[in-house]
A and B are shown apart, each in its own frame.
Chain A
C-alpha cells in the first residue's frame, strides 16, 4: 500500500511539473529546459526557509517567489536570444546551478544536502501529502484545460506553428513565449516544493540533468495539446523504470539503468516526432 501511495504522490508531482513543460515545449514549441533549475529553486527555497525557522506559509511564498524570479530571468534571456541559443543556455544553466548547489555549503549544505525537512502541519503524512498533491494537480490540469481552450492557448499553438505568422496577427510571439516560460517556472517550483516535502531530504542529485531528461521525455511524449496526453505520458514515464525493480539486477546500477532507459526513450521519441513533423510539414 505504501508503495502505491508513494507512486501516486510521485505521479501528481510529475503532473504539476509536466503541465508547465507541456505548455512550453509541446504546445508552444519553446525549448525551455530551465524547468529543472526552477524545480530545484522551489525545493531548496522551501527547505532553507523552513530550516531558518520561517513559518510554512511564508516558506511557500518565498519558494514560489524565487521560482518566479528564476522564471523571469529565463524569460529575459528568451527575449534576448534565438530559440537555439536559448535552449543551449538553459542546458548550461542546469550545470551552473548544480555547481552552485554543490559549492554554497553554508546555505545549501553542499554535497551533503539538507536533511530532516519538516512537512507542513496540513499534510503531515505521506497519504495526506499525496491527497494534497492530487488536489493541486487536478486544479492545475483544469487551469491547463482552460488555457488550451482560450485565445492564449490558440496563440501558443500558433507560436509552435509559426511565430512569424503569430506576429503578423498582432500578437507578440516573444511575449507569449515569456508568459509561458514564467508559468512553467512557477509550476516546476511548486512541484519542487511538494517533492521536497515528500522526500524530506535534498541534495544536488535531486533534480539536475536526470530530471531534465525525465521532464523533457514526459513533455515530448505528450505531443498533442490535450490534457489526457499529459496524464498518460506522466504515468508512462514514471512507471516505465519501475520494471527494473523486478529484474535481477544489482541495486548499485539501478540509477544508471533508469538513466539509460530515459535517454534511449528520448532518442526514440525524437525520431518518431521528427517523422511525424516531416509528414505534415506546412509549406507556408
Chain B
C-alpha cells in the first residue's frame, strides 16, 4: 500500500467522477484484499471473487463511508465479510494452498529442504483448521500493516481480546504442528 496519494484523496477523485481513480484504489488494495480473502477461503478463484465482490460493494457504498474513520478498516471489514459470506455459502473447498506457497518460499524437493517443506505443509493444514476469525487475525497480524485497533475494526473483536486470541491461535498451531509431525514420524516407524 503506497502512501503517495492518500485513500481519501483517491475517494475524492472518485466522487468527482474521475474514472481512473477506481483503478488507483484497486491497485492500491487488491493484493491485501486478495490475501485476506485467500487465507479465509484457501482457494484462489474464490478469493478473487470475494475480493471483487468487496470492491464492488465498497464502490456502491462510498457515499456512506465516514471520512473520519480509516478507509482501510472500513474496506477490509467489507473484504472480511465478503470472504466469510462466501465460505458459508460454499462449504466444500479443496484446493491445496501448498503448491502456491512452497513455490513462493523458494523451497524445492531437495533433501535439505524436505523437513522445512513438511513443516510448512503441516502448518498450512493447521491454519485451515482455525476459525475464520482466528485466521484473519493471524493474517492481518503477520502482514504487519494493521494495528490491533484496525484488526478490531475489521473483525469486530476488541483489541485486547484480539491479542489474546492471536496468542492462543499461535499456541494451538504450535501444538497441532508438533502433534501432526509426531504422528507422521510414528507412522513411518
A binds B: no
B residues with CB within 8 A of A:
none
